[in-house]
Amino acid sequence: MESRTTTSKEALQARIIAPVSVSTSTLRGEEEKTNPPLAGPFHDESRDLQDGEDLHLPGNVERWYLAAFFWVMIVCGWSDGTTGPLVPRMQEYFDIGYTVVSLVFVCVCIGRLGEITKLSPRDVYTLPISFQLIAYVLLAAPTPYPVFCIGFVLSGIGAGTVQCLATAFLMKLHRNQNLKQCLCQACYGLGALVSPLIATQFSVLPHRWRLHYLSSLGLAGLSFALILFAFRASGNIEDLSNDASSNANANAETWSKMTRIMRNRAVHALAMWAFLYTGTEVSLGGWIVTFLQEVRGGSASAGYASTGFWGGLTIGRLCFIWINQKVGERRIVFAYALIAIGLDLVAWFVPTLMAGAVATSFIGLCLGPMFPIMLSVARHSIPHEIASGSVAWIQSFGQVGSAMLPFTTGVLAQAVGIEVLQPATVTMLATMTLAWAAVLWFTRRSAR
């Protein structure tokens, strides 16, 4: 009887891992086979989760996984929200300009496009978090700037992998997918909301500001423990078979799916929108503190404006769900974008510190609901059997945008001054609005 219980738990674990055990190579459009068989005597083909099939989990198992993923997303948001308040201190400490300091955004992107392949189910989650732990040690230690940037690369590897896995997992759940996606993205915003509060306190310490990353190290350590506990609570696991990835039929199926993803115009329209959205979000959140300090005459406490931005993002994702459903998810994005453009014009043309900080907070409020809406549109518009790989492709474009647009802003700031932030943000928001019109066009055609 005990043997049957163990077997059932292992089979259930395989079904949980199947939809999300993708390597970060899928971020470049190569989707791994999502349901390889269990090695050993516990394999039961009747229990394998096929592509296009929703994942049905017992309530207690699902709750453990959701708790672990939500906390991991909080840590990812914490990491991204830290950068803005510390950018001025980085420039002073390393004696570098806007262009060089903006390389940290590029390093995060390089890390998020990194490759981690052929892992056991548990290692799919724990190894990326291990990279985050190593990264925070390098960032906290008194290392030179090149090593400091390597820390951001490792942090990007961890954050990019677990965010992709979390999104793929939630898209496979049977109940309340939209709500759980919104809560997951709100957890990211919550982490990004709290971290500037702490980072601003450290930013006033000329020689000890890097100790802030020790708090990040502690949070990542808790993520590691939660992932291990979630796996232990849901039963023992067997490693997935590595032989399946070398099977000729599996390779043919992978190539077929990748071809379908590349031919789907809706996927590329969504990817371009994600490029612009994520780039705008990171550019504004990363550079607003520098703008307020150098253009509006703010002190180190201007770092709290970053908290306002990420706080608005979090509130928007949590509190506007009913508005999105009432007005219509596809239409309301235009309203959010137009309001955000108007608020950014206020921050641009009203030359006061308070106006800039408040307008930035409300811009975050408008940007917050957009990304969960995009994921919802993707889920309803893309064929279910290629949904996981398509979302990985879309998110990879978002990560490229999170590097290219902030870096471009830094280059422009080096050439003409940080005053360029507001006109650059208005341009990005306007382009993003046009890109959403293209998303609606291609997703409607794809759904027919």
Distance from C-alpha of 80 to C-alpha of 141, rounded to nearest angstrom:
19
User: Which of 410, 428, 430 lies closest to 420, judged by CA?
Assistant: 410
User: Does the residue 375 lie in any domain?
Assistant: yes
Q: What is the largest CA-CA distance in the chain?
A: 73
Per-residue model confidence as pLDDT tens digits over 314-363: 899 888 888 888 888 889 999 999 999 999 999 999 999 999 999 999 99
User: Which of 126, 29, 15 lies closest to 393, judged by CA?
Assistant: 29
State yes or no: pLDDT of 50 exceeds 60: no
User: Does the residue 249 lie in any domain?
Assistant: no
User: Does the residue 55 lie in any domain?
Assistant: no
B/e letters for 75-103, b = 16+ CB within 10 Å, e = fewer, are bbbbbbbbbbbbbbbbeebeeeebebbbb
DSSP code for 243: G
Instruction: Give the domain range for residue 163.
Output: 60-237+260-447
User: Does the residue 362 lie in any domain?
Assistant: yes
State yes or no: pLDDT of 309 exceeds 60: yes
User: Does the residue 112 lie in any domain?
Assistant: yes
Question: Structurally, how many domains does the chain consist of?
Answer: 1
Per DSSP, the residues of 256-313 read: HHHHHHHH-HHHHHHHHHHHHHHHHHHHHHHHHHHHHHHTS---GGGGHHHHHHHHHH
Chain centre to alpha carbon of residue 143: 27
State yes or no: pLDDT of 107 exceeds 70: yes
CATH of the domain at 112: 1.20.1250.20
User: Does the residue 48 lie in any domain?
Assistant: no
Per-residue model confidence as pLDDT tens digits over 244-272: 333 344 455 666 777 888 888 889 999 99
CA separation, residue 256 to residues 34, 115, 161, 176, 308 (Å): 14, 21, 23, 30, 45
Per-residue model confidence as pLDDT tens digits over 373-412: 998 888 888 887 787 778 878 888 888 888 889 999 999 9
Helix (H, G, I), strand (E, B) or coil at 220: helix
User: Does the residue 225 lie in any domain?
Assistant: yes
User: Does the residue 3 lie in any domain?
Assistant: no
Distance from C-alpha of 61 to C-alpha of 66, rounded to nearest angstrom:
9
DSSP code for 141: S
